[in-house]
Chain A
Amino acid sequence: MSDWIEPIAELGYLVAAAFFIVGLKQLGSPRTAVRGNQLGAIGMFLAVVITLVKMNAEEGGIVGVVLIAAGVLIGAGIGVVMAKKVKMTGMPELVALFNGFGGGASALVALSELVGRTPSESSLGAEVFIIAAGLSSVIGWVTLTGSVVAMFKLNGTIKGNVVFGGINLVKGGLLIAAIVLIALLVNTSGQGALLDSGQGLTLLIALGLVSALLGVIFVVPIGGADMPVVISFLNSLSGVAASTTGFVVNNNALIISGALVGAAGLILTGIMCKAMNRPFIDVMLKVYGAARGSDSGEKRTARGYEAEEACLAFDGARSVIFVPGYGMAVSQSQHVVRELAEELERRGTEVRYAIHPVAGRMPGHMNVLLAEANVPYEQLIELDDINPYFSECAVVVVIGANDTINPAAKTDPTGPLGGMPVLDVEKARTVIIVKRSLSPGYAGVDNDLFYEPSTMMLFGDGKAKLTELLAATKDL
C-alpha cells in the first residue's frame, strides 16, 4: 500500500539536497547571497513536507501528532523571536548558539533512536547503527557544549582562557573514553533493544557526559583571537553530526546536507587559519601566548595625545583609512566611526575601511558591525586590496586593533606573528591609534608601531575617544 512513497520521498529528498547545494554556492557570492539563503529555506521546507507525507503514507501514519506539533511550534516560536530580537552586535553569540542547537538536535535524534529502536532492525546493520549513533552523540554533544562555551566567551561571561597543565591529556583521555564507550555499546547489543540489558542505559549516560565535558574542555582554553577559527570549526562539526545521524536513520538528505555543511565549514576554518597564519592543530592544542608577561627588554613609553592634537592630521588630508578591530566591537563605537567618516567626507576626504579577515571574534565580524552602522559596503576593502594604498594615505585611524597591524609579522619572521598577513598601516603618513593601553595583543607580541614618531596614541575607551575626535574635527 505504501510502496509508492519510498521512491517518491527519496526523489524529493534529492531535490531538497539540490536546493541546498545551489543555495550554499550562491551564499558564497555577494550578488546571489540573498537568493542562496532563500533556496536553502525552500529546500528545508520541502524536506519537512516530504517527511510528513512519507510518515503519513507509511504503516501507522502520523501517530505522534501532539509531540510533532508541539516540537515544531515551540521551536519555530523561539527561533523567530531570537532571530528578530537579536541586535546585530549580538550576532556572533546567536550564530554560535544556533550552531550548538543543531548539534544538540543531532545528538538527541541519535539518543532517541538508540533508546527506541532495536539495532538489528536497521537496514544498515546493527553494528553500523550503533557506531553511527554513538559518533553522532559524541559529535553532537561536543558541538552543543562547545558552542555554548564559545557563546559565553563571546559575550564576555567567561573571560580569558582557562588553561591548566595536561589539558591536552584530558582531551585525549575523554576522546578515548568516548570511543571505548561506543565499542562497549556495540558489544552490549544482542538481538533486542539496547536498554533491555540494563547496562545500556549506563553506557548511554556515560557517553553523553563524556562528550559534553569534551566539548567544554575543547573550547575553554582557546583564546579570544582564535575564536573565528573555533566558531567555523564548530559550524563544520554541526554538519558532520547531521551527516552521521543520516546513517542512524538511513536518510540520504541528512547524509548529503550534513557533509556539505561539514566541508564548507572546514573551508572557512582554513581561511581563518590562513589569515592568522596558525596551523589548525596549533589552534586546537597549543596554548598561545602562555609565556606572556615576560617583560623582556627595556621599558618603552609611548606618548599619549589629546583628540585636539590628533585631529589636526585630518586637516587637508586627501585620504583616510579606518582600521577596525575587536576594540571597536567591545566599545560599540561603529556608529561614531561612521559619523567621523561622514564628517571627513564632507570636508572632501576620501574614506575607506581596511578589513582584516580575523579582526574581531567571528568570521566577518567587522563587516556585520559596520553594516549595522550604515557604512556603505563599497568602502570596506579587503586586506590584499587595501595594502597598496596605505603608502599614499594621509591618516590611518586604528580602533582597537593590534596583532592585525603589527609590523613584527614582517620584521620578525620567526616570532609568534611571523608570516601572518597584516595591514601595512605603518606606511601611512600619520597613524592615530585608539586603544585602552599599550598591552600586547593576543599573540603576546609588543607592537613597535605604538612607539613610532608618526603614531599618535589616544588612550581610552574607543567610543569616548572617537566622540572627542569627532567633536574636535568638527571644530577644525
Chain B
Amino acid sequence: MTLTFLAVMSSSMTALIAALTVLALAAFLGFELISKVPPTLHTPLMSGANAISGITIVGALFAANAELSGGRTTTAAVLGCLALILATINVVGGFMVTGRMLEMFRGKKEDRS
C-alpha cells in the first residue's frame, strides 16, 4: 500500500518536474527571442503573440469533448464549449487582424519604392 503510494507519488513528481523544466526553458527562450522591436511592430507583435496565447484552444477542445449525458460531465463540457468559442475568436480573429495590420504597413512600403 505504502509502496504503491510512493510509486504514484514519484511518477507524478517526475512528470511535474519535467513540465516545470519545459516551462522554465520556454520562459527563458521567450525573454531572449524578442530584444529590440521597432515601434511600428509593437501593435502587431502584441496582437500576434496574443493569438498564440490562444493555444489554450487545445485545452478547450479536450474539455468540450464529452457526451451530453447529464450530470457534471455535461456541465464540464458546456464550460469547455464556451472556452472553445472564446479561444477560437482569439485565435482566428487575432491572426487575421495581425495580418491585416502587417499588410497595411507593407502595402505602404511597396507603393513608394
Are A112's CB and B83's CB within 8 A?
A: yes
Q: Which residue of A lies closest to B17 (CB)?
A: A124
Q: Is the interface of B mostly helix, strand, loop or mixed?
A: helix
Contact A51–B61 (Cβ < 8 Å)? yes
In angstroms, Cα B73 to Cα A93, docked, is 36
> Is A52 an interface residue when CB atoms closer than 8 A count as contact?
yes
Report if B6 contacts A (CB, 8 A). no
Query: Does A396 sit within 8 A of B, measured CB to CB?
Result: no
- In the bound complex, what is the Cα–Cα distance between A231 and B43 (angstroms)? 10
**Chain A interface, DSSP helix/strand/loop, else mixed:** helix
Out of A47, A102, A249, name the residue touching B50 (CB < 8 Å). A102
Give 1 or 0 for each of B14-39: 1 = CB within 8 Å of chain A CB. 01100100110011111101110111
Q: Are B80 and A367 interface neighbours, CB within 8 A? A: no
Q: Name the residue on B nearest A107 (C-beta).
A: B83
Q: Which residue on B lies nearest to A33, using beta carbons?
A: B102
Digitize B51-81: 1 where CB-to-A-CB distance is under 8 Å, 0 elsewhere: 1111111111111111110001101111111
A67-B77, A83-B100 known; A21 and B33 CB under 8 Å? yes
B83 in contact with A267 (CB, 8 Å): no
Which residue of chain A has its CB nearest to the CB of B112? A376
Pick the contact of A78: B16, B50, B55, B89 (CB < 8 A).
B89
Tell me which residues from 300 to 353 in chain A have a Cβ below 8 Å from any Cβ of chain B: none
Query: How far is B41's CA from A29's CA once the two chains are assembled, in angstroms?
Result: 7
Query: With the chains together, A112 CA to B48 CA distance in Å?
Result: 27
Query: Is A21 touching B79 in the complex (CB atoms < 8 A)?
Result: no
Residues of B within 8 A of A125 (CB): 9, 12-13, 16
When distances are taken between beta carbons in the complex, the residues of chain A under 8 Å from B73 are 116
Neighbouring A residues of B38 by C-beta, 8 Å: 30, 382
Residue A424 CB within 8 A of the other chain: no
Assess whether A34 is in contact with B99, with CB atoms less than 8 Å apart.
Answer: yes
CA A241 to CA B106, docked complex, whole Å: 32
Q: Which of A150-158, A280-288, A358-366, A427-435 contacts B (4 or more CB under 8 A)?
A: A358-366
Contact pick for A64, options B29, B33, B41, B67, CB 8 Å = B67
Residues from chain B with a CB closer than 8 A to the CB of A263 are 26-31, 33
B16 contacts across to A, CB distance below 8 A? 124-125, 128
Quick check: is A475 within 8 A (CB to CB) of the other chain? no
Closest to A260 in B: B30
Contact with A along B74-113 (1 / 0, CB 8 A): 0111111111111111111111111111111110110110
Chain A residues with CB under 8 A of B15: 123-124, 250
Check if A185 is an interface residue, CB within 8 A of chain B.
no
Do the beta carbons of A109 and B42 come within 8 Å of each other? no
- Residues of chain A within 8 A (CB-CB) of B82 are 71, 108
B-contacting 9-mer, from A37-45, A160-168, A448-456: A37-45
> Assuming A117-B76, A231-B46, is B101 touching A267 (CB within 8 A)?
no
What residues of chain A lie closer than 8 Å to B7, measured between beta carbons? none
Evaluate contact between B85 and A37: CB separation under 8 angstroms.
Answer: no
Q: Tell me the minimal C-beta distance from B105 to chain A in angstroms.
A: 5
A115 engages B81 (CB within 8 Å): no
Known contacts A44-B95, A51-B58, A255-B22; A27/B30 CB under 8 A: no
In the complex formed, the residue of B with least CB distance to A42 is B95
Q: Which B residues lie within 8 Å of A82 (CB)?
A: 89, 93, 97
- Asked if A112 and B86 make an inter-chain contact with CB atoms under 8 angstroms apart, the answer reads no
Q: Which residues of B contact A259 (CB under 8 A)?
A: 23, 26-27, 29-30
Residues on B with C-beta less than 8 A from A104 are 83, 86
Among A213-221, A232-240, A457-465, which stretch is in contact with chain B?
Answer: A232-240
Interchain CB contact under 8 A, A102 and B90: yes
- Contact of B108 (CB < 8 Å), options: A123, A257, A376: A376
Sample of 20 more A-B contacts, CB < 8 Å, known A68-B84, A91-B101, A95-B50: A24-B52, A34-B103, A67-B68, A108-B63, A108-B83, A111-B79, A112-B80, A113-B59, A116-B73, A123-B12, A128-B12, A235-B46, A246-B59, A249-B62, A253-B55, A259-B26, A364-B39, A377-B105, A377-B112, A380-B39
B interface, CB within 8 angstroms of A: 9, 11-13, 15-16, 19, 22-23, 26-31, 33-35, 37-68, 72-73, 75-106, 108-109, 111-112
Can you sample 21 A-B contacts with CB below 8 Å? Answer: A24-B34, A28-B33, A44-B55, A47-B55, A68-B84, A71-B83, A76-B89, A79-B89, A88-B104, A98-B47, A108-B80, A108-B82, A112-B63, A112-B80, A116-B75, A116-B80, A128-B12, A259-B30, A263-B29, A268-B37, A380-B40
